[in-house]
Amino acid sequence: MSLDLLRRRPARDLPHVAPHPEVILPLARLHEACGSARRSFALWLAGRMAGPVLWIAPAWSPDRLHPDGMSDFADPGRFLFVSPDRAEDLLWCMEESLRAGAVPLVVADLPGPPALTPVRRLHLAAGQGGQLGSPPLGLILTPGNGGAPGVETRWHMAPSHDGGARCWTLSRTRARTLPPATWQAEQGPDQSGLTLRRSGKEGHPKASPPPPAIVSGQTMQADLACGHDSRDP
């Protein structure tokens, strides 16, 4: 176990990625993004990092990233796509990729949140990858309000587009050392990132039934309807 977890140092004092001064994701850890614009959050994060991005998604999923939508946040040429045929291989691919430490950002688009044991394995794999070079960051994408136990942080993102403006509501619903918070995010015409403005609402989006969990060796049937806004990738 990493001594950083025992010391409970503030997230700002740990090696981290911060696409915004208040949006902090410690490296060598597993994070979760949920909500109908969760892929937009992942692309925004990728755009604020350097190097290749490994994107893992089930082969049977009808949802695929579109290069035109991706380019609003990051260069599509940086992405490597892996599409396992079996549900149990989704987390296996992510674990091995994090352990190798060769890719700075590993994203797994899952049909449901994993259980606690796989989350712990992914944390350990990310930590081992950091011993081989630059510490990687793991991000799982889950439908609805997410709910994977034991993740370092959880972010909920949903579209709130206003006319021609591309806007989202971003909430930090879980973090080990930071309180819940909500921002209104807007992308400018130059597509240089997102401008965040703190909202009066705290980071607890309206509750919805949790999606089925992916358990070790068995996957419960999940609703694959994403329901994401047409202007989100």
| Residue 175 counted as domain residue | no
In 127-220, where do the E strands start and end?
Answer: 137-142, 153-159, 166-175, 181-187, 194-198, 214-215, 218-219
111 within some domain: yes
Range of the domain at 17: 3-161+210-219
Q: CATH no. for residue 58? A: 3.40.50.300
* Any domain includes 169: no
Residue 202 covered by a domain:
no
What 3-state DSSP class applies to 43? Answer: helix
pLDDT, tens digit, for every residue of 210-226?
A: 444 433 333 322 222 33
Residue 196 lies in a domain: no
- Asked if residue 147 is part of any domain, the answer here is yes
Angstrom distance (rounded) from CA 179 to CA 202: 9
For β-strands 137-142 and 105-109, DSSP reports them as parallel
User: 233 falls in which pLDDT band (50, 70, 90)?
Assistant: low
As a whole number, the mean pLDDT across the chain is 84
Give the CA angle between residues 60, 63, 68 to the nearest 5°.
140
Region 46-58 average pLDDT: 96
- Summarised one tens digit per residue, pLDDT across range 27-37 is 999 999 999 99
Query: How many domains are there within the chain?
Result: 1
Which pLDDT does position 206 carry in this prediction? 54
